A and B are shown apart, each in its own frame.
Chain A
Amino acid sequence: MAKAKKQEHERRVLILDDEPDYLATVCDCFRALSEGRWQIDTAASAAQAVERLKTEVIELVVTDINMPGQDGVQFIGELHRRHPQLKKVIMTAQASAEKRDASLAAGADLFLEKPVSAEGIKSIFEKLSELLDWKNTQGFQGVLRSVGLPDLIQMECVGQNSSILELFNEQPLGRIYIDQGQIIHAVCGEIFGERAFQKLFTITGGTFELLDFEVPPEHTINRTWEVLLAEALRQREQLAQRAQVSGKNLAADSTAAEPVGQTAEMLICSAAGEVLYNWQCADAAARVTLLQAVAQRAEKLIPELQLGKLDRVEIQLPVGRAVLQPRADRLVFMRVATPPKP
């Protein structure tokens, strides 16, 4: 009953496949199974799909892998960067573990084998319906899968990209300008600069989109993106803890001025061990030694694990937790203590 109610509003779905007969069959079946609730657009190539996405508000994109021009995995990767809130599914007749891993790594939410029976189509439809119904309850919608707002900013900065990250709820909330990997400007309502950047990080319940870069009206941020991000994450964590203690929804409290302090520490050091940023870390030298030791030992494990690069280490402590992020040129460490019980 609940599911039927959820699906009452019309869903916008875009399906890509270069086999017209297959495309027509699947679309007809999905339309019938959705009892008219799915409005389905089609495209025979990634280029056609991109054009559709410029003019239509689409919730879900389902694509084949083997297509003329850009293949489905590359297309999903591009979509994931440009429209992180969009739900993306790969559906292929030639499923393999390698393709599955590549698809999920590129940002697909689901990797499915093309159905070959009516029962299979129904099963796929149900999976896609579940995905359409799935919503994030915290943070920005881009948190879908593993890519959240901090991840996206990191990706843009590490990749030395230039882009504008627009955050919006029912209406635009603000923008973060990234120029060749550096955050140079942020605006949130009447607020500019670092304060705007920090405020955008504390707002929940919205979504975000990556836009092509345009030169901002002014440059209001000078500090490095690592420091900005570290401080923003710390403040967001503290706000979340405070909200948890007080039982409030963070979204309802997004205009709060300063977070209540919680025991925490943060340290960023260069690969050589030079401390670049220290917040409440009593013995920075000891922490640097620890970070280097863990990062070096982990580095040795990477080749035999065959799991790709190490993104982060999350440490669940008896009280609180810590995160260690090893990067090529620096190490980031943050520890957050659990707030005292009221």
Chain B
Amino acid sequence: MWKYVVKRLLWMIPVLLGISVVIFTIMYFCPGDPAMAILGNGATPAAIEAKRIEMGLDQPYLVRLLSYLNQVFLHFDLGDSYFQNQSVLSGILYRMPYTLIIAALCMLLQIFIGTPLGITAATHQNGFADRACMIIALAGVSIPGFWLAMMLVLFFSVKLGWLPPYGVGGIQYFILPCIANAFAGIASQARQTRSSMLEVIRSDYIVTARAKGLSERDILYKHALPNALIPIITVVGNGMGMMLGGTVVIESVFSIPGIGMYTTNAINNRDYPIVMGGVLFLGAVFSLIMLLVDIIYAYVDPRIKAQYEGQQKRKRRSKNG
């Protein structure tokens, strides 16, 4: 198992390399000149040219790419912001807590609201509870997060004045952003849990469990749910990715100074090092989450664990043989 984890961690290196090449290339071909953006509209062409040379922007694509990769992967330096007098890494680390808090809270909402909704729907298939849960879920997957965010602000902040409309501070500042961001996740979680549970409930081993004399409650939580978990965990993992992406939008709506805001502002300002650093950071977090999901699979389903371990055994055998 540990070998598998180490192997997967090593695999992250080529993934991150790929991400940085792609994002660097996109930024390279983007119209707009950072030098001009820094100096402003009034700058003379000669001054802009001098700035370009100073920043190394006159170098050919390959040279710039390699020097960027060298800087990031060999010196662990994401570069400095063009406008703020700060390294990108410290900028990211400073803003990271906000983004992670929102993503984690959303995750908890998704798991602890979405899963029970799905179980309720599955156990009352075609009944009233099922219909109600599925209508909520349908609304959830259909409503865009930013629209919901604005409606929530309109109602709870502007009209009722219960919660702050934007900014950061105590926990009350996180309530609306999290609800807006998590709703879609809750919905897809509920739908996945329902269909996965429905499939499992019809399995032969559920009949076996019933024939053993177990109560319906034990059948549901000891036999059905553990078997339904694999697709549910997949949705949780994907949801985490969605949340990270969603925070970009939500942070803008609520003016939360997280990674998302940091990156979107940088895009507007053509502050390329921040854009690349932010994307790379989100990519790394996403890869780690996916690894975590795969590790959780192994603990939920012994067959998958055997597969992970089996791969290594097979390789060892073929090496010896």
State yes or no: do A and B come from one complex: no
B interface, CB within 8 angstroms of A: none
